[in-house]
Amino acid sequence: MSSYLYEIPTTGAISFSDFCYDQTASYVAEVADTTEARANLRAALKEFKRAEDDERDYLKLVKVLDDYIPKLYGITVCVDSGDLTIRSEPIFSWRTTLSSNLFHTSPRLSLPSLPTEIAFTLLTYGFALSNLARAIVASLGIYETERAISDTDRKAKDERLHFATTLLCKAAGVFEFIAKEVLSQWDSARERALAAGMSCPRPPDLSREVLIGLSKMALADAQALAIRKHLSKAAFDSTLTPGPPLPKSHPSPALAAKLHLECVALYSSGRALAKTPGASRPNLTSSSKSKFKLSLGRKDKDRDGEGSEMSLPREEAGEDVSPELGRYLADEIAYHNALAHKWLGVDAGENGATSEGGRAVGFLVWAKKELEELKSGGLGHGGVVGIGTTDRERVMREARRARVQVELESVNVFLKGYKRMNDSLAFQPVPPQSDLQASVPTGRSAVTIRPYSQPTPAFGPGSVEYARKQAEALELLDDSSNKEPVSSRPEYAGAGAYY
C-alpha cells in the first residue's frame, strides 16, 4: 500500500522586518534573508496549489523548507535573547488542511505569535516528507511482480523503497516534535493572545492528539513499506508459480502476519487520536449548538459564540478532523487485518501439517471476506462510495482498490489449494471466527521513529557563526590578559638607578 496523500497548505505574505526591531542593527541582513526564504516558501506552496499531481516536485519543496526553517529559528532565538524586539504581535495566515469542511475547501486562519509560524511550517515539512515518500513509491510501480526485472534492478528498487520508508519515519518524528515541543510554546502564546482579547482558534492541525495520530499513521505507512521490501524477493519468485507451496525465498508467513498486525495497531491508535478533538469539544449550551447536522459525520460549529457558557472571545472549541483522514485510517486497518489473517492462514497451511488444515481454510475465508468488503467500498465510507470524497481521496482509493484486487486473487489461490488439501487429506473442521480471533498474536515492529530535533539556528544565539564570534572574543580576551603591561614612562639608560 502507499501512504496518505496530504493536501499541502498555502500561506499569506509577511515581512519579518515589519515587526522585528533590531536596535543594534546586528541582524538586518539576516532578517531580510529570512523574509526572502519565507517568500520563496510561499511561492513554492502557491505553485503546488496550481500544479497537477504529476507535476509536483516534493523534493524541491523539502529543500525550500530546509532552507527556511533554520532561519525562522534564528529569528526566534534572537527574540528570546532580546537581540531582536517585537514591535507588535505578528499575525501569520495559513490554510488548515486537516479541518473538516463541507465543501472541501481548507479554511484560512490568521493566528498570532512566532510559535504559530514554527508549528505550521514544520507541519508542512512533515506533509512534504510523507508526500515525497508516496511519490517515490508511485514511481517504482509494482516492480516485484515484473517477470522481466533483473535481480540488480529489483535490489535497486528495494533501496528506493527503503529510502521512502526512511522519509516516513522522519515525518513521524516531525509530527511528534510539534506535538511534544512546539505546541507547549504555542499554548503559552495563545493564552497571552486570548487574555489580550485577540482571536486565536485552535484548528485540528494544532491539536496534540491529532499530531500524535499523524505520527502513528506515518509510522504505520512506513511499516507497510518495510513489509513490502521484506517480501519483494518472494513476491518475484511467486510470480510464475503463485499459491502453495511457498517458494524457499519466502520469509516466515507468521512473521508477515505479525508485521501487518503492528500496522493495524498503529493505524488504530492514529484513528482514535484523530477523533479526539471533536469528542473533547467543550460543552456548549443548547442555544449555541448548530441545529444543522450532516449525515457525513460532521457537525456544524457555533459561529458567533452567543449563548455559550465560555467567556473568552471567539473561543475555540476543537474542530473535527477531515473525514477523509478517518476513512483512510479505517480502510488501512481493514486492509492490514485482512493481510494478517491471510498470512496466518498460509502459516497454518504450510507449517501445521494436516492437523491445521481447518485453521488455514478458516483464516483465508476470513481474509477473503474482509478484502471483498474493502473492494466494494471500504468500512470508512459506511458502504457508500463517492459521497463526500475529494479528488485526492479518489486517487488513494483507486490505488488501494488495485492492491486489494491483487491480494484477493492471491487469497483465492491459497484458499483453493488448502481447501483441496483439507477436503481430500486432513478432513479438519473449520473453526468459527471467534476461535480464530482468540489465536491472533500481537504485532511486531519493523521500523522505528526518527526523532526530529530543533535545527541549529542560521544566526543568533546557538548558531555556528554566533559560537565562532564568541570563541574569537574569548581568544582575544585571553591574549590581552596574558600580555605584560607596558610602562607608559619612556625607557632610557640607567632608568630607575638613582644613587
What is each CA distance from 469 to 273, 459, 465, 474, 476, in whole angstroms? 46, 11, 6, 9, 11
Distances (CA, A) of 402 to 12, 20, 28, 52, 272: 39, 53, 55, 22, 27
Residue 449 has pLDDT above 90, yes or no: yes
Q: What is the pLDDT of residue 486?
A: 53
Core vs surface per residue 194-232: b (16+ CB within 10 A) or e:
beeebbbbbbbbbbbbbbbbbbbbbbbbbbbbbbbbbbb
Cα(112)–Cα(190) distance, rounded to whole angstroms? 8
Three-state secondary structure call for residue 91: strand
Q: What is the pLDDT of residues 479-494, one digit of tens each?
A: 666 665 555 555 555 5
Tell me what the mean pLDDT of segment 334-361 comes to.
93
Q: If DSSP states are collapsed to H, E and C, what string results for 393-424?
A: HHHHHHHHHHHHHHHHHHHHHHHHHHHHHHHH
| From 163-167, 340-344, 384-388, the region with the lowest mean pLDDT | 384-388
Residue 104 confidence (pLDDT) above 80: no
Contact between 222 and 168 under an 8 Å Cβ cutoff? The reply is yes
- Output DSSP code: residue 99: B
Q: Are 367 and 410 in contact (CB under 8 A)?
A: no
| Percent of the chain's residues with pLDDT above 70 | 83
Q: Which residue has the cell 485453521?
A: 359
Which residues face 293 on adjacent strands? 299
**DSSP SS3 for 125:** helix
Please check whether residue 205 is in contact with residue 138, taking contact to mean a CB–CB distance below 8 angstroms.
no
> Before 245, cis peptide (omega within 30)?
yes
Residue type, 458: A
Q: What is the pLDDT of residue 289?
A: 36
pLDDT attached to residue 410? 95
Q: 112 forms bridges with which residues in the sheet?
A: 91
Residues 6+ apart with CB under 8 A from 296: 102, 323, 387, 388
Closest by CA to 349, choosing from 437, 406, 411, 260, is 411
Mean pLDDT, range 222-246, rounded to an integer? 93
So what's the pLDDT on residue 396?
A: 84
Report the pLDDT value the prediction gives residue 296, as an integer from 0 to 100: 31
Domains along the chain with CATH numbers: 16-280+316-438 (1.25.40.280)
The answer to whether residue 14 scores a pLDDT higher than 50 is: yes
* Selected residue with higher pLDDT from 437 and 426: 437
Lowest mean pLDDT segment, chosen from 83-87, 100-104, 158-162, 231-235: 100-104
Residue 408 has pLDDT above 90, yes or no: yes
> What pLDDT shows up at residue 425?
87
Q: What is the pTM of this model?
A: 0.86
Count the Cβ atoms, other than its own, within 10 Å of residue 377: 16
Determine the length of the chain.
499
What is the average per-residue pLDDT within 250-263? 97
Mean pLDDT of the chain: 86
Q: What letter does residue 300 receive in the DSSP assignment? A: P
Q: Is 201 in contact with 99 (CB distance < 8 Å)? A: no
φ and ψ at 313, to 5 degrees?
Answer: -70, 130
Q: What is the pLDDT of residues 154-204, one digit of tens each?
A: 999 999 999 999 999 999 999 999 999 999 999 999 999 999 999 999 999
From CA 210, how far away is CA 276, in angstroms rounded?
7
Q: What is the mean pLDDT of residues 377-382?
A: 58
